[in-house]
Amino acid sequence: MFFQQFKVEGLGCLSYMIGCPMDGRAVVIDPKRDISDYLKAAQLNKMKITGIIETHVHADHISGAAELHLQTGAPIHLGAGSPVDYDFLPLHDGDEIIMGNTKIEIVSTPGHTPNAISLALTDLGRGDMVEMLLTGDLLFVGSIGRPDLAGGELLEEQIKNAYHSLNTKLGKFPDYVEVYPAHGAGSLCGAGISAKPSSTLGFERRSNPFYQLDFDEFKEQLCRNTPHRPINFTHIINTNMRGQKLTHELPGINEYNPLTCKKFLAESPDNIIIDLREATAFGGAHIPGSFNIGMAPNSALWVGNVVKPESRIILLANNHQDIENAVTMFRRVGYDNISGYIIGLNSWILAAEETGFLPQITIHSLHTVLEKYSNHLVLDVRNDQEWQTGHIEQARHLPLPQLINQSIDCELDQHISVICMSGYRSNIAASILKQRGFKNVYSVIGGMVTWKTAGYKRV
């Protein structure tokens, strides 16, 4: 049996290729939108991709199923009854797909979504025992898939389904079976997912907190601790239900000069610039009103939290490679309206256009400011778990996802230092505050990591 896991850094998406080189066939499970990795793996191992399986309709990334179907002709399979608008071959509980020595058994496991499936894998060359389970978004390493994405009216039913799928449908498999989920750390399809890319059923049954609960506790935990829902999730779900646009059908991306950039921004408030440079470069000078989402493995995750999916976007970076990488990353999460790009800020500055400024303050300067000015606001935008590990005594806690959706109760001339763990999210938050009209905003370089290293007080 051939088995390969593919990981999208930053998004926590995991996809798979299963096949049999002797038989010459393979299937791809939960493909990402950019499909070259699967085509290369199939060619390298002398296999033809003859099937594409989606364990469920995804909410956090645009599927590559349509793209892979175009390139290979392979049919798309989903769980029977899946609410999509394109042709697919339905998979029912107990169905089998056999490719040489590889057997895939379909297990209906609703819970994350109503029509979700898991795949039980057997290497017939070694025996008739199930070795691995691809659990989709039902069971993660250290957590489970959130049940709320199908809609609030289905939440109670989905919680019951998830409990039944975990304990009854997966209950027939022994402890030694390996677990390979569709997501790892970084995904917002579940809370508290481990960075480990696989586990075993036995280990999860003993250590996963959701396996330690009776149904009432299970329901209470899921209702109380649902992760926040990024603003692009609904768009992604709808796109994956309708059928994804093919990348060759997307509009071209043009280089913008200062004049065309100004016209672009004036056309609509939904036309925006995403500045991909590092925090200090953005702080020194940037095009007013732009978002600073620096190039990093999780850039697409934060775009999905900050930028409306219907926005038209210009990207600004120091080089063409960052632009190319960003286009790939952002298209994975549904941002197809990328109109153009700008390389560097020199042309904007030489055209005598106005620039914005976001002061970067060190933790030492912040410590001095707090000793002198009792009314200086420190806004901590880390998540709840990070906040609980220790924070500045005077700080106000407002996680970045909440800041995006609500205002802060203070005057526009209030002096505000924004802090996160390392300085990445604080620049995103500070650029949002600047857009909202706050005049005296600072981003703390190095964040709470350097505050702790310096030995300053935390509570």
Closest CA to 18 of 42, 54, 44: 42
CA distance 164 to 153: 19
106: in domain: yes
The whole-number pLDDT of residue 401 equals 87
Question: 226 and 134, same structural domain?
Answer: yes
The whole-number pLDDT of residue 273 equals 96
* Pure H helices in 165-214: 201-207
The whole-number pLDDT of residue 150 equals 74
CA distance 430 to 432: 5
Do the Cβ atoms of 339 and 253 come closer than 8 Å? yes
269: in domain: yes
CATH of the domain at 377: 3.40.250.10
Coil vs helix vs strand at 263: helix
Question: 367 and 339, same structural domain?
Answer: no
pLDDT at 151 over 80: no
User: Residue 231: what are its φ and ψ, rounded to 5°?
Assistant: -70, -15
Q: For the chain, what percent of residues have pLDDT higher than 70?
A: 100
Compute the CA torsion angle 302, 307, 313, 318 (nearest 10 deg).
-30
The whole-number pLDDT of residue 31 equals 98
* Pure H helices in 249-319: 258-267, 279-284, 299-306
Provide the domain count of the chain. 3
Do the Cβ atoms of 285 and 355 come closer than 8 Å? yes
Question: 393 and 306, same structural domain?
Answer: no
The whole-number pLDDT of residue 200 equals 98
430: in domain: yes
Question: 231 and 254, same structural domain?
Answer: no
- Per residue in 277-294, pLDDT tens? 999 999 999 999 899 999
- Per residue in 186-217, pLDDT tens? 888 877 899 899 999 999 999 999 999 999 99
The whole-number pLDDT of residue 9 equals 87
The whole-number pLDDT of residue 251 equals 85
241: in domain: no
Tell me which residue has tokens 């692009």: 232
Question: 396 and 440, same structural domain?
Answer: yes
- Tokens read off for 12: 């926590």
Question: 373 and 427, same structural domain?
Answer: yes
The whole-number pLDDT of residue 81 equals 96
Question: 187 and 51, same structural domain?
Answer: yes
244: in domain: no
The whole-number pLDDT of residue 381 equals 96
Question: 313 and 190, same structural domain?
Answer: no
**248 Cβ contact list (under 8 Å, min separation 6):** none
343: in domain: yes
89: in domain: yes
pLDDT at 274 over 80: yes
Question: 164 and 128, same structural domain?
Answer: yes
What band does 377 get if pLDDT is binned at 50, 70 and 90?
A: very high
The whole-number pLDDT of residue 196 equals 92
The catalytic residue positions are 420
CA distance 14 to 196: 11
pLDDT at 152 over 80: no
Closest CA to 219 of 159, 142, 145: 159
The whole-number pLDDT of residue 171 equals 96
Question: 448 and 344, same structural domain?
Answer: no
Do the Cβ atoms of 113 and 81 come closer than 8 Å? no
The whole-number pLDDT of residue 225 equals 75
- Per residue in 84-137, pLDDT tens? 999 999 999 999 999 999 999 999 999 999 999 999 999 999 999 999 999 999
Name the residue range of residue 126's domain. 2-236
What does pLDDT average to over the chain? Answer: 94
Q: Which of 294, 329, 350 is the last residue of a domain?
A: 350
The whole-number pLDDT of residue 405 equals 83
Side chain identity, residue 220: E
- Per residue in 40-80, pLDDT tens? 999 999 999 999 999 999 999 999 999 999 999 999 999 99
| Sign of the CA dihedral running 365, 366, 369, 371 | negative
Question: 214 and 76, same structural domain?
Answer: yes
**214 Cβ contact list (under 8 Å, min separation 6):** none
Q: Give CA 421 to chain center in angstroms.
A: 19
What band does 153 get if pLDDT is binned at 50, 70 and 90?
A: confident
β-pairing verdict for 377-380 and 415-419: parallel
60: in domain: yes
Q: ∠ CA 214-219-220 to the nearest 5 degrees?
A: 100
CA distance 186 to 190: 9
CATH of the domain at 193: 3.60.15.10
What band does 330 get if pLDDT is binned at 50, 70 and 90?
A: very high
Coil vs helix vs strand at 21: coil
The whole-number pLDDT of residue 189 equals 82
Q: Which of 201, 236, 271 is the last residue of a domain?
A: 236
β-pairing verdict for 117-123 and 102-108: antiparallel
Please name every residue paired with 315 in a beta bridge, in sequence order, or none if there are none: 274, 341
Question: 131 and 12, same structural domain?
Answer: yes
Q: Which of 187, 210, 236 is the last residue of a domain?
A: 236
- Per residue in 212-254, pLDDT tens? 999 999 999 988 877 788 899 999 999 999 999 898 899 889 9
Q: For the chain, what percent of residues have pLDDT higher than 90?
A: 86
